[in-house]
Amino acid sequence: KQEVTQIPAALSVPEGENLVLNCSFTDSAIYNLQWFRQDPGKGLTSLLLIQSSQREQTSGRLNASLDKSSGRSTLYIAASQPGDSATYLCAVRRSYGGSQGNLIFGKGTKLSVKP
């Protein structure tokens, strides 16, 4: 059974710091891995999607890496801003029996960036 774990559960940093969020998964047979952002009481916004054959993806100040063999992904946020404050969720799509809409999520990391 695929399980996704995110560490830490919560993180508070001062503005301007670079930070890393971690995601691990128990079954390396994934189709892809996706990072989402969720603001309080809101839906999810896709940030980055990494296919199983890729090692990393970048978008602006965000960089996500994937090491499928070790079952790990990291989300790197450069020069953090108060507007980055949100919960960040990691989700995997299984290679077998999964689909684009059938994802397995971690519990998320709640990030707070202090001005």
Partner 1 sequence: DAGVTQSPTHLIKTRGQQVTLRCSPKSGHDTVSWYQQALGQGPQFIFQYYEEEERQRGNFPDRFSGHQFPNYSSELNVNALLLGDSALYLCASSLRYRDRAPSGANVLTFGAGSRLTVL
Contact 32, 93 (CB under 8 A): yes
List 49's β-bridge partners, or say none: 34
Stretch touching partner 1 by CB under 8 A, among 13-21, 43-51, 64-72, 76-84? 43-51
Q: Is 106 in the site for partner 1 (CB under 8 A)?
A: yes
Compute how many residues bind partner 1; rule: CB under 8 A: 22
Q: Is 48 in the site for partner 1 (CB under 8 A)?
A: no
CA distances from 72 to 13, 30, 39, 50, 84 (A): 23, 11, 24, 12, 22
Stretch touching partner 1 by CB under 8 A, among 12-20, 62-70, 75-83, 92-100? 92-100
Binding mask 49-88 for partner 1 (x = CB under 8 A): ----------------------------------------
Q: What is the separation of C-alpha 107 from the centre of its chain, rounded to a whole number of angstroms?
A: 10
Spatial separation of the C-alpha atoms in residues 34 and 12, rounded to whole Å:
23
Q: Is 41 in the site for partner 1 (CB under 8 A)?
A: yes
10 Å Cβ neighbour count for 14? Answer: 9
Q: Is 45 in the site for partner 1 (CB under 8 A)?
A: yes
Binding site for partner 1 (CB under 8 A): 4, 34, 36, 41-46, 89, 91, 97, 99-108
